[in-house]
Amino acid sequence: MEAIQTLARWIKESRYTVVLTGAGMSTESGLPDFRSASGWWQNIDPRTVATVEALESNYRLFQEFYAMRIRGLDVCKPHRGHHILAEWEQRGFLHSVATQNVDGFHQQAGSQQVYELHGSLRTVRCNTCAHQTAQTDFLAGKACPLCQGKLRPDVVLFGEQLPALPWQRALNDMRSAELMVVIGTSLQVYPVAQLPMMTQGRLVMLNAEPTEHDDRFDLVVTGKAGELLQALNSQL
Ligand SMILES: [Zn+2]
């Protein structure tokens, strides 16, 4: 495919390449989609559970929802595409990965420079005193061992600020980038949708379907993230 050859050339030419990944990067890992999970979750809109409100006033529901999502991580793992990005970092083709995903697959695959813009399901903290504690405590429904506060995963809930440090680092990298590759996100969520506009470099979109922002990109390639990355990798 000509577009893949072009992008492979751009990757080789660029002295500073950054990647931004979204949900489409994780789907090939077989992460169970909670909307299609069995039982009563089918009738619950995650936007009503993944909230500060639910954490404060409906903790049992909140805890069950996130315990299910954390356990879901155990049955899947990074796919070839995650490993390819980690290899590119090692080979000097890639500076960093910013991600909207909370599954930790990029780090699991070996990527070192990862900015988790929406936090992580892999770690747990106390909502009151911020003490980091074992995931098993949260899964067991326990309270904070220090202050008895509510435990929660380190993800960004609806109604919360985005973590400042990863955002600042991602923004800095995007400003420095000569090439930015967006993978598996249709950029519908603000403020992530703004990130590609921060770069003066070449902008590339790899996504399963066309997005409403395609005209802002220098190159758009449609397909599955893992397959496109494998095709690219064979040219590098
Ligand atoms: Zn605490």
DSSP E strands, the chain: 17-21, 96-99, 114-116, 119-126, 132-133, 151-155, 179-183, 202-207, 219-222
* DSSP code for 14: -
| Lowest-pLDDT choice from 26-35, 36-45, 157-166, 225-234 | 36-45
Q: What is the pTM of this model?
A: 0.92
pLDDT of 12 reads 97
Cβ atoms of 22 and 101 closer than 8 Å: yes
Arithmetic mean of pLDDT over the chain: 91
**Token pair for residue 51?**
């909230």
**Which is the CATH superfamily of the domain at 32-75+123-155?**
SIR2/SIRT2 'Small Domain' (3.30.1600.10)
Q: Which of 82, 118, 131, 213 is catalytic?
A: 118
Q: Is 213 a catalytic residue?
A: no
Q: Is the pLDDT score of 130 beyond 90? A: yes
| Spatial distance between the Cα atoms of 4 and 175, rounded to a whole number of angstroms | 24
Where are the domains positioned within the chain? 1-30+78-118+161-236, 32-75+123-155
| Residue 92, CB-side half-sphere exposure with 13 Å CA sphere | 4
Residue with tokens 């960093």: 96
pLDDT at 68: 87
Binding-site residues, in ranges, read 126, 129, 144, 147
- Residue 43 has what pLDDT? 67
Q: What is the distance in A from the centroid of ligand 1 to the CA of 146?
A: 5
> pLDDT tens-digit profile of 144-155?
999 999 999 999
Per the annotation, where are the binding residues for Zn(2+)?
126, 129, 144, 147
pLDDT at 218 over 90: yes
pLDDT of residue 33: 53
Average pLDDT over residues 26-51: 69
In this structure, CATH architecture of domain 1-30+78-118+161-236: 3-Layer(aba) Sandwich (3.40)
Q: How far is CA 231 from the centre of its chain?
A: 22
Cα first-last separation, the chain: 14
Mean pLDDT within 23-46: 68
73 CA to centre of ligand 1 in angstroms: 25
Alpha carbons 137 and 204: distance in angstroms, whole number = 42
pLDDT band, residue 41 (cuts 50/70/90): low
- CA–CA–CA angle 26, 169, 175 (5° rounding): 100
Token pair recorded at residue 164? 């400042």
Distance 147 CA to ligand 1 centre (A): 4
Contacts 24+ apart (CB under 8 A), 217-226: 217/182, 219/3, 219/6, 219/7, 219/10, 220/3, 221/1, 221/3, 221/4, 221/7, 224/24, 224/28, 225/21, 225/24, 225/25, 225/28, 225/81, 225/183, 225/184, 226/28, 226/79, 226/80, 226/81
107-125: pLDDT as tens digits: 999 999 999 999 999 999 9
For residues 1-12, average pLDDT: 95
Q: How far apart are CA 212 and CA 187, in angstroms?
A: 9
- Residue 21 pLDDT > 80: yes
Q: How far apart are CA 84 and CA 139, in angstroms?
A: 32
Gap from CA of 125 to ligand 1 centroid (Å): 8
Contacts with 62 (C-beta within 8 Å, 6 or more apart), sequence order: 49, 54, 55, 152
User: pLDDT for 81-107, tens place per residue?
Assistant: 999 999 999 999 999 999 999 999 999
Which strands form 151-155's sheet, in the order they lie side by side?
Answer: 132-133, 119-126, 151-155
Residues 178-207 have pLDDT tens digits of 999 999 988 877 788 888 888 999 999 999
Q: What confidence tens digit (pLDDT) does each residue in 131-144 have?
A: 999 999 999 999 99
Q: In this predicted model, what pLDDT tens digit does every residue of 64-79 receive, in sequence order?
A: 999 988 998 888 899 9
